[in-house]
């Protein structure tokens, strides 16, 4: 619900309302809130409950810089370990994103984009890298969705995905790492354009 924008930054989590809506007791809601606090999506305020964390623009840009380097490392590792099955799965995600672009379906593109990135990180076969990546991705969810709304942004992003796939297929470790670094750097640039009101 946070990722979908149904609950906004700064908003208080109404445990009772959520429990009713989801048909569960408040205990699993509270446990989920504690888990989301650990990964940086929520913060608890004494005697007031849990609130969706608000990420400053500076925080978001700092996280993009970290992601650029992590994704580059993931690319170099993935190029050495990628299998034909991995390539097929990534190609399928790429094609589905292409379809989402042609249908102007930003929500579908966003979800597929997240899945594509996670698959690339998982292909690196580095558990600690994947763990850090997931934490950073969780924090950036609200900001990243904003940077992928426009069809032109989605189209540019998917062209970069094609470059990443081509580098992985050719087996070039340096090329894959560089393509993945460029992709995140371009994502940061798209975010900055969206914040300034340009597409």
DSSP per-residue letters across 132-167: HHHHHHHHHHHHHHHHT-SHHHHHHHHHHHHHHHHH
Same domain, yes or no: 120 and 46:
no
**Domain span including residue 95:** 57-196
Domain ends where: 6, 34, 52? 52
Residues constituting the chain: 199
Same domain, yes or no: 20 and 46:
yes
Residue 6 lies in a domain: no
Same domain, yes or no: 33 and 91:
no
Placement of tokens 């913060």 in the chain: 43
pLDDT of the residue at 139 = 77
Residue 9 lies in a domain: no
Provide the 3-class DSSP secondary structure of residue 111: helix
Same domain, yes or no: 103 and 143:
yes
Same domain, yes or no: 85 and 145:
yes
Residue 5 lies in a domain: no
Q: Which pair of tokens denotes residue 134?
A: 């997931």
Residue 4 lies in a domain: no
Give the number of domains in the chain.
2
Same domain, yes or no: 76 and 143:
yes
| Burial (Cβ within 10 Å: 0-12, 13-18, ≥19) of residue 47 | exposed
d(CA 29, CA 31): 5
Same domain, yes or no: 83 and 176:
yes
Using a CB cutoff of 8 Å and minimum separation of 24, what contacts does 6-10 make? 7/52, 8/52, 8/142, 9/52, 9/53, 9/54, 9/55, 9/142, 10/51, 10/52, 10/54
Residue 106 lies in a domain: yes
Residue 80 lies in a domain: yes
pTM given for the model: 0.78
What separation in angstroms does the CA of 170 have from each of 68, 82, 126, 165, 173? 22, 11, 21, 9, 9
pLDDT of the residue at 191 = 82
Residue 87's CATH number: 1.20.120.530
Same domain, yes or no: 40 and 62:
no
Tens-binned pLDDT, residue by residue, of the chain (199 aa): 776 667 777 889 999 999 999 999 999 999 999 988 887 788 899 889 999 887 788 988 999 999 999 999 999 999 999 999 999 999 999 999 999 999 999 889 988 999 999 999 999 999 999 999 988 887 787 565 554 557 788 999 999 999 999 999 998 899 999 999 999 999 899 888 877 765 5
Residue 3 lies in a domain: no
Same domain, yes or no: 61 and 95:
yes
Same domain, yes or no: 140 and 72:
yes
Residue 76 lies in a domain: yes
Same domain, yes or no: 81 and 134:
yes
């Amino acid at each position: 619900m946070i990722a979908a924008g149904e609950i906004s930054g700064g908003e208080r989590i109404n445990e009772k309302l959520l429990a009713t809506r989801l048909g569960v007791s408040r205990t699993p809601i509270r446990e989920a809130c504690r888990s989301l606090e650990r990964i940086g999506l929520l913060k608890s305020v004494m005697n007031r409950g849990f609130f969706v964390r608000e990420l400053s623009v500076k925080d978001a840009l700092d996280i993009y810089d970290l992601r650029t380097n992590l994704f580059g490392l993931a690319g170099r590792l993935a190029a050495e370990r990628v299998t034909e099955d991995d390539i097929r799965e990534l190609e399928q995600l790429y094609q589905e994103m292409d379809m989402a672009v042609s249908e102007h379906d930003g929500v579908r593109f966003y979800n597929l984009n997240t899945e594509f990135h996670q698959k690339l990180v998982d292909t690196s076969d580095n558990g600690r890298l994947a763990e850090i990546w997931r934490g950073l991705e969780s924090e950036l969810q609200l900001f990243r969705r904003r940077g992928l709304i426009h069809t032109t942004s989605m189209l540019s992003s998917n062209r970069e995905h094609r470059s990443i796939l081509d580098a992985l297929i050719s087996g070039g470790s340096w090329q894959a790492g560089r393509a993945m670094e460029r992709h995140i750097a371009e994502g940061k640039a798209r975010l900055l354009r969206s914040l300034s009101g340009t597409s």
